[in-house]
């Protein structure tokens, strides 16, 4: 089970488990979205998505800019 501790509180994010993951959002750049063909291939679109997770305790976010095999960058309202 993939779990990363939040640097801002005692909470964490969990990147594996239930599908859909209720603390996960998916991002895509405007350019990549518009570069998609008119008929959307969801599998291809999903592969371009950047994964964002919210801390289970403080709502800070962790974004896996370089993919799920790299460490996330954390952000909160004070940083
Ligand atoms: Zn937190």
The DSSP code for 22 is T
CA of 61 to the centre of ligand 1 (A): 8
Beta bridge partners of 49: none
> Total domain count for the chain?
1
pLDDT at 79: 65
Tokens of 39: 């008929």
Q: At residue 78, does pLDDT exceed 80?
A: no
**What's the distance, CA 30 to chain centroid?**
16
pLDDT in tens, 46-65: 999 999 999 999 989 999 99
pLDDT at 1: 63
pLDDT at 23: 94
Which residue is it, tokens 């209720």?
22
CA of 60 to the centre of ligand 1 (A): 5
Average pLDDT, integer, range 22-40 = 90
Q: What domain range is 8 assigned to?
A: 3-75
pLDDT at 40: 83
The Cβ of residue 32 has, within 10 Å, a number of other Cβ atoms equal to 13
Average pLDDT, the chain: 92
CA of 33 to the centre of ligand 1 (A): 30
Tokens of 26: 């998916």
């Amino acid at each position: 089970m993939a779990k990363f501790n939040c640097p801002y509180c005692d909470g964490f994010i969990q990147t594996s488990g239930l599908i859909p993951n209720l603390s996960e959002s998916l991002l895509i750049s405007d350019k990549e979205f518009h570069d998609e063909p008119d008929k959307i291939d969801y599998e291809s679109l999903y592969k371009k998505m950047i994964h964002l997770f919210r801390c289970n305790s403080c709502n800070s976010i962790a974004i896996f800019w370089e993919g799920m095999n790299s460490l996330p960058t954390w952000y909160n309202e004070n940083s």
